[in-house]
Structure 1
Amino acid sequence: MHDQIQLPSLADTAGATAIALDFETASPSRGSICSIGLAWIRDGQVSHVAHRLVRPHDMQFAPSYIAIHGIYPYHVEHEPEFPAIWDELLPHLEATPLLLAHNAPFDIGVLREALSHYGQPWPSLQYLCTVKIARAAWPQLENHKLNTVAAHIGFALRHHAADSDAAACASIAIRATAESDAPSMTDALPRWSIRPGRLEPGYHESCSTLSDRASQRSRARLPRWLRQI
């Protein structure tokens, strides 16, 4: 479950159209990354998968989090901290037009917290939340948690193994795009009423749906004291 899979070379992933990303954390502190999973999409399929263990800066592991992902301090005590792995990952993000995450507010929040903790600038990237994609593609599902959607598309998920979670996220986007009959994921976005999120140095905009944006506009018209409730 905790085997490491090194990142492929940039040459090997040339032409990838998206990278799916999954973080596991050691504690409720969002910057406490202990595992990173990655999956590249090229030519409508998952072309590469990678998995790296990470040493959290404070090595504080919450028992409830260990129970979720099975990663103990001894698994990561000799691993590099996040900046070393970020140096490997960033060129891939810069070479690929789109980042994917299932429940992106969590994973993008983890990334922002980790970068800020280590004094690293936020990268410039566009991202999509595959929870929103799944809701648009399969509204009939009981819920749109990763394990539920993975089962719906027939993906054999090892839940909370970051490489498997990332591959499931990528597979959800691939299947939803195929079923939309759009020529590409980007072309499918208007059909799903989804706008990509953006991350740039000092700026963040969430991935949103048409209903999200309508709700935000309605809330913005409320008096300030009501918006704070």
Structure 2
Amino acid sequence: MNFVAIDFETANRYRNSACAVGIVVGDENGVIDEYYSLINPQSSFEMQNIRVHGITQADVEKAPTFHDLWPTIKSYINNQVVVAHNASFDLSVLRASLDQYRFCYPTLQYLCSVMLSRQVWPNLPNYKLNTLADVHGIMLDHHHALADSRAVIDLLVKAIKDTRVTNLNQLLQDQSIVYGQLFERSYQTPKHKKKLVQETTKDFFA
């Protein structure tokens, strides 16, 4: 089965300030397709963000806006399984960008590779993408949106191999993880089933 990694970089503290997007399509064997673009956020850049990703206002002056790019981005992620490292950030950038232009949300399932990595490889010092890349020998130009997305695909392929399953759905089933979902003007975050049981029990006896 195919899955799609996505990564955004932002120009400032606001989630509707995407200045780059990297998208990589993969399966249990590795990368199938990829797409990258700078984005003109039509807003100012903050130094703390520039220090992270190195993209400046001058770099995006002639770049397309999110409005221009949305048809292409949508063609990759609509009705797909989408994966991001710290998915709460990247999916919030997507939602804020769509809200800015009053675009309809795509329908998709999504997964956080941080959550998955914690389950598959417990007891690591942390679960930052660069740490995981170092541990597993994955090439990474950290905070370049395309490189980050490639690394996420490589992590999923590694997780599938290390757990000796055949596909992502089986991996999630074995690790007791439930997909998050995005749908029109709403979403549900990915969940770990054991945590769900604990929360339900706590609510019952409250």
TM-score by length of 2: 0.94
Counterpart for residue 72 of structure 1: 56
- What is the aligned-residue RMSD (CA, Å)? 1.8
Q: Secondary structure at the match of 1:159?
A: coil
**Offset of 1:212 from its aligned partner?**
3.7
Q: Does 1:87 align with 2:57?
A: no
Q: Does 1:26 align with 2:16?
A: no
Change in Cα spacing, 1:25 to 1:221, as seen in structure 2 (3 Å) is farther
**Identity rate, percent:** 31
1:37 maps to which of 19, 22, 46:
22
Counterpart for residue 145 of structure 2: 162
**Structure of greater relative contact order (alpha carbons < 8 Å, 6+ residues apart):** 2
Could you tell me how far apart the structure 1 residues matched to 2:182 and 2:77 are? 12
| Paired residues for 1:43-192 under 5 Å | 44-58=29-43, 60-94=44-78, 97-192=80-175
| Contact in 1 for aligned 2:28/2:166 (Cα 8 Å) | no
Could you tell me how far apart the structure 1 residues matched to 2:15 and 2:205 are? 31
Could you tell me how far apart the structure 2 residues matched to 1:110 and 1:192 are? 27
| Contact in 1 for aligned 2:25/2:34 (Cα 8 Å) | yes
Q: Secondary structure at the match of 1:120?
A: coil
Counterpart for residue 12 of structure 1: none
Structure 1 runs, 4 residues or longer, greater than 4 Å off: 218-223
**Offset of 1:215 from its aligned partner?**
5.2
Q: Kindly provide the amino acid, as one letter, of the partner of residue 192 in structure 2.
A: T
Q: Does 1:193 align with 2:143?
A: no
Q: Kindly provide the amino acid, as one letter, of the partner of residue 84 in structure 1.
A: D
Any gaps of 5 or more consecutive residues in structure 2? none
Q: Does 1:207 align with 2:193?
A: no
Encode CA deviations 1:87-111: one digit per residue, 9 max, x unaligned: 11212223x6311100000111111
Could you tell me how far apart the structure 2 residues matched to 1:27 and 1:53 are? 15
